[in-house]
Amino acid sequence: IDLANATFDELEQLSQACEPASFGRNKEDVMDENYRKARKMDPKYFSAQLVPERIELVKVVRDYLLEGKASKRDIKVELYKLNVYDKGSFFKSHVDTPRGKNMFGSLVIVFPTAHEGGTLYLRHHGQEWTFDSASELSGLPTPSIGYIAFFSDVEHEVAPVISGHRVTLTYNLFFD
């Protein structure tokens, strides 16, 4: 599917090809649609031609997220999953479960699919930021993507999607 130009029906087919999304709690994967209602596809079932290293997103992450000695370290980017949030989908406030000892953050790429809602809220040390991909990506030239990178200890949530499909690729960020 060309996610920059996908129709509602194509996005609905993608959603149906996905399975319900679990989330990490302690060292377990948990399924609870009262806490997270979304769909996901593991990387073994799809290929992504979007490679963060190829479009210099790793450099952007390093330049804007890391400071001091950490800004000089090599970063390994690992595709974690494709997520589809359709009407009524959400993910309550949480902190990511580390997927390895060198994991320091996440990179989320958001595709310009038509949707309303699904704002990403991030909170850390009393500060809050929002990323409303629906409004940020609407009207941009095709192809365009949105992205956000954040540390693993940042609390975040996805507000309910009101309509359409919010489609993301999530990458785990590791110090190499």
The whole-number pLDDT of residue 7 equals: 92
Instruction: Identify the three-state secondary structure at position 146.
Output: strand
Element (H, E) at 92: strand 90-94
Instruction: Identify the three-state secondary structure at position 140.
Output: coil
Instruction: Identify the three-state secondary structure at position 120.
Output: strand
Pick from 75, 78, 94, 100: which is nearest to 21 by CA? Answer: 94
The whole-number pLDDT of residue 97 equals: 76
The whole-number pLDDT of residue 104 equals: 94
- Rounded to 5 degrees, φ, ψ at 57 are -65, -30
The whole-number pLDDT of residue 71 equals: 85
pLDDT by residue for the chain (176 residues), tens only, comes to: 888 788 999 999 999 999 999 887 777 778 888 889 999 999 999 988 888 888 888 889 888 899 888 888 889 999 999 999 999 999 999 988 777 889 999 999 999 998 999 999 999 999 999 999 998 888 777 778 899 999 999 999 999 999 999 999 999 999 98
